[in-house]
Structures are given as C-alpha cells and as structure tokens.
Amino acid sequence: MRATELWLVRHGESTANVAAAEAEREGHDVIQTKFRDAEVPLSPLGEQQATALRGWLADQFDDGQCVLVAAHDAVILPFLDVCNELMEQQSLDFSLTHTVTNASVTKLLRPSNEGPWTEHPGIHDAAIH
C-alpha cells in the first residue's frame, strides 16, 4: 500500500534562528552560535511550538497511509519541488517567494496513489508563508 498523504513539518524555532534574526537586525553577516548545525537546540518558543505540534499531530494520522517528514526548510522546499513537479526555473522562482516558517506543517494529498500531489486546502495555519 502506498502513502496517500505526505506531511512536511519544519522544526520549531531554534536558538540559531534567534541568532540569525538578531544578526540580520544588526546588519551582521555572521550568525553567532556555539553549536554545530545538527546540535542547535530549540529556543524556549521552539520548545512551546514542538509541544503544541506534537499534540496536534497526534490526532492527525489514522489509516497508516501517511508519511511524516520533519526537517529543515532546506529539505522541505526540494520535497515541494518534486511533489509539485516544478522545473528548475519554477523551483528557483518558488524559493524566492516562499519560506517555510518554524513549526509549520504542509499537508500534501494524492488519494489515487497516482499523479501529482496537491496541497490540502484546509490547513491555512500550517501553509507555506
């Protein structure tokens, strides 16, 4: 049996996200963080986002045909490119106008197991912003 739902989840706000926003505000080119990328902890807001997301996601899966991908936006955007069958220039244009916000969820559906994936229209609070 193939998956009919693909859920793309961006991690909650990290301390590096906080440092990046601060560096941008101050006009700095370098983000100050003492952690390697894979070891960066969540910020207090990120912890709250993760807890809220965990509770919300617990009620979403019911038939075993769902795939959940929790990742950085650098992974989620290529997933969307493939699922939306975007060509290279379309992908570049899309990435210039879309970001994946912290703790966001994008739900893609393909009920027939064939053809392109479509974004679920009912999850506006979890759409790509």
pTM for the structure as a whole: 0.73
- Residue 33, pLDDT > 50, answer yes
- Residue 126, pLDDT > 70, answer no
Task: Determine how many CB atoms are found less than 10 A away from the CB of residue 78.
Answer: 14
Indicate the number of domains in the chain: 1
Mean pLDDT of 38-66: 83
- Contact (Cβ atoms closer than 8 angstroms) between residue 6 and residue 67: yes
Phi first, then psi: give them for residue 103, nearest 5 degrees: 60, 25
pLDDT at 129: 33
Q: The domain containing residue 77 runs over which residues? A: 5-126
